[in-house]
Structure 1
Amino acid sequence: MHNLETATLKLGVFRPFDSLGQALVAAALHRQHEVSALVEDLNSLRARPGLRCKLGGLASSLEVSEAVMGLDVIFAMLGDQPPRQLPPQCGALIDGALRAGVPRLFLVGHWQWLVAPQDAADEQLGAGLARSLEVSGLDWTLVEAPTLVEGLRIDDFSRAAAPVDVASQQALACAEALLDEVRLGLHRRQCLRLRDPGR
């Protein structure tokens, strides 16, 4: 039963397959949000109460906009993507969110090359993305993906059997921190590094 005192948000998560993505889905469902897993293969993730699987890729802004229409917040889990693939994917996310009218965008990946370029190649690679973010008008947040144990799944974060192992606790703590960012409206148009869990 839904707690009427809890504000319900419609969240979309692109590529929710790593441990943080799975923890984010589990934590959002626990908070009674509506969650859409935006995937390129509908058989890649099992639907469950409160979670719907919807086709969605990052190939174009049109594909993104069709996937995110009606959502309040988008999370894109990009931690496994090489830097050179990030600008076009992020461009599709930015333009798709604008087209669909989704105001809040979290890009979760590795951004050191963008925030502190080491050479001219990094600087050139990041210039267009930084400009697109700044002029978009979206409330975006770049999140530096934390180092977590891989292979965790939604069921590992079940409240019926609260996570007791350190790896699950760390992933869940990061996911809860991201949802708190949404609730409190923090770090808009900024880069965010989650505190290393376990320290």
Structure 2
Amino acid sequence: MSKMDETRAFIAVNIAVLTVSDSRTLAEDRSGDVLVGRLEAAGHTLAERKILPDERDQIAEQLRAWCADPAIDVVLSTGGTGLTGRDVSVEAHRDVYEKEIDAFGTVFTIVSMQKIGTSAVQSRATGGVANGTYLFALPGSPGACKDAWDEILVKQLDYRHRPCNFVEILPRLDEHHRRK
């Protein structure tokens, strides 16, 4: 069973938040606000925040730019994970991933099932790694962002979480690039 090891020091990570929407502005971005509020309350740093339209190439380009920035450890996107024709965040993320974190989507579905029942099948939340950076595509609803953060990410992005967490392996995500 997972637990917090209070003998370990907390390590803050730098997180960028991307909202994918054809219609929202920063003033109307409740899902982005949820993520920013929660990551800052947990002790992490907001590295950057943007809103982009549901355009696959633009999303992938922004993800790549943030993955190339050594000051960004994690990217959280919200929106564009559904089934409609304009929902392209998952495809954009997969264009960038070096490795997919398959279990993230599975665990997110389990969490969602407890809240919204079988409607959880309509989400394609995903996670992956590229260039030493974690990337997570979350649904565009504030409730889904709360669930993803409160039930999964707050723990996995905390170095004190045991038996393991994303932060402790962060320095090793790009070790294949350093091999000679």
Instruction: Provide the TM-score with structure 2 as the length reference.
Output: 0.45
Question: Which fold has the larger relative contact order, with Cα–Cα distance below 8 Å and residues 6 or more apart in sequence?
Answer: 2
Q: Which has the larger radius of gyration?
A: 1
